[in-house]
Structure 1
Amino acid sequence: MAFRTFLSSLGVNAPEVTAVLESDEIRPGGTLRARVIVKGGGADVRIERISVQLVTRVEAAEPTEKSWDNPGVVAYQAISAFDLAAGAEREHGLAIEVPWETPITHALGRRMRGPRAAVRTILEIDNAVDRGDFDEIAVHALPAHDLFFDAYETLGFRFDEAAVKTGRVTGGRNQTSKFWQELEFFFPADYRLGPLAQLETVFIARPDSLDLITGPHGPYPFDYAGLTLDRCVAWLDDHCRTRWQN
């Protein structure tokens, strides 16, 4: 039964739920903090559950490139059942640990084409569900991500778009998430692969390191300690010329 239909059958105004985020910018491995404010409607109700979810746009779940109606849940935290009196207001604080493999929406401080992320708040009463609060957020790249993005740009690669996919990526031996993100870059002209040739890249991040997968090759592990732009540029250039020009 739809949430609004359920409440209408009781002849009451709907309770309202809002998640107030401490920040709308996060990074993988960080903490998403929010205050959840619930305001009672025209009658006493039993709130069965409130779920606050970190969600991402998943390519296969949407009918078009721009739609974003069926997001994938990356992480969540739930507030258990409680009674809410008519007109009353309650506030709950929560913190969601952001997984290291959370798909990013921004790199080098810029929004990327394709990916989107949001915080979705769901209110449940007697098996009726209201998805009334939906706040888009920015998931910024880790410093190691940014170093590789910078290396791609230094070598003349041009970023095209990113997409989040479901399942296990080939070569993802350390993957723990059910989602993975594919980043597509056009090869620069001096690699002589044609103007439409693309390099597909996947990062699988952890607290101390990340794996880099390029097309069918990898994973290649990189520790965060000691990782520099010069090292990334040299490795990426040698890797691409070895794998795609010989």
Structure 2
Amino acid sequence: MAFRTFLSALGINAPQVETVLDREAVRPGEKLTVVVTLRGGADVLVERLKLDVVGRFEDSEPDETGWANPGVILSWTEEGPFALAAGKERVRDVDFELPWEMPLTHVLGGRRLKGARVAVRTELAIDNSVDRGDFDEFSVHALAPQDVVLQAYADLGFRFDEAELKKGTPGSAVASRVGFWQEIELWFPAEYGSIGGLGIAFNAREDSLDLLTGGSGGLTFSYDDLDPEQVRARLDAHYRERFLPAWSEIPAGAMPSGVRPGEG
């Protein structure tokens, strides 16, 4: 990536920065290395160089095209002041250990999740001026076990809608080590009684994951014995047990017109 001029208010001698990610696609639990090169346009004192791994949180961004108020997932800071002389370069290599709970942007071999975005933001502070407009996006692909679970949903006829990143934890039943969680929204197939929408969430670890099944409890899967057919059967039985009996007991014509099960 080419050098970009920071802090244009300083004029033609403003410092320049180049931020380079070692790869454009990662998976949860992996390491992302970022190399930042600063080049001085004039002799300045840099007060702070900061790198943030950020995500698009549900309630913070007005649309999907910009970065108005991204949420910080990981952060690295070099506090100054330190000198950046004209024509000189300062290089920093930064390693980010991505959490297992890292929000996904791509699933099922490369399908983009609508609404999911992550990036590295480079921030430079000089003379009480802060420029945090440099965003380098990258993709986070699902772990193989996550794709097995998501493929099971697809095989059962669930349709993917979008993903939302939220602050906090998805529920007291799941112990999360981070202050955020990602909800993946799907639509039930007709076989389950036109129930409507469903929001699921993963709580991944090195050897297993919890699946929050959308207000109907949770399931835990070990990576050692993750058989696709068994996962599909387990999900099918889970939703049939929790949703179909309740709606099958409603007499014909008892539900108000225009209201789907799960609404109202």
Name the TM-score, length of structure 2 as normaliser: 0.84
Q: Distance in 1 between matches of 2:49 and 2:78?
A: 5
CA contact (8 A) 1:171 1:213 kept: no
Larger radius of gyration: 2
Counterpart residue number, 2:146:
145
The one-letter amino acid of 2:45's match is R
Q: Distance in 2 between matches of 1:62 and 1:180?
A: 16
CA contact (8 A) 2:174 2:203 kept: no
In the alignment, structure 1 residue 30 sits paired with structure 2 residue 30: yes
* Closer, same or farther: CA 126–218 of 1 in aligned 2, 3 Å: farther
Counterpart residue number, 2:55:
56
* Post-superposition offset of 1:177: 1.5
Q: Quick one: percent identity of the two aligned structures?
A: 47
Q: How many residues align?
A: 238
Cα root mean square deviation, aligned: 1.8
The one-letter amino acid of 2:29's match is G
Q: Distance in 1 between matches of 2:114 and 2:240?
A: 27
Q: Distance in 1 between matches of 2:64 and 2:94?
A: 33
Structure 2 unaligned spans of 5+:
1-5, 246-264
SS at 2:224 equivalent: coil
* Post-superposition offset of 1:171: 3.9
Counterpart residue number, 2:186:
185
Give per-residue Cα distances to partners, 1:7-59, cap 9 Å, x unaligned.
35xxx621112211110111110001121110101x21111221111111001
Q: Distance in 2 between matches of 1:120 and 1:65?
A: 16
Q: Distance in 2 between matches of 1:228 and 1:15?
A: 54
The one-letter amino acid of 1:208's match is D
Counterpart residue number, 1:244:
243
The one-letter amino acid of 2:200's match is T
The one-letter amino acid of 2:51's match is V
Q: Distance in 2 between matches of 1:150 and 1:218?
A: 20
Q: Distance in 2 between matches of 1:228 and 1:173?
A: 23
CA contact (8 A) 2:7 2:15 kept: no
CA contact (8 A) 2:32 2:96 kept: yes
Q: Distance in 2 between matches of 1:188 and 1:225?
A: 29
Q: Distance in 2 between matches of 1:173 and 1:236?
A: 18
Higher mean C-alpha displacement, 173-182 vs 214-223: 214-223
Give per-residue Cα distances to partners, 1:47-95, cap 9 Å, x unaligned.
1221111111001012235553111111122234321101211211121
Q: Distance in 2 between matches of 1:136 and 1:27?
A: 14
Higher mean C-alpha displacement, 86-95 vs 140-149: 86-95
The one-letter amino acid of 1:29's match is G
By relative contact order (CA 8 Å, sep 6+), the higher-ranking structure is: 1
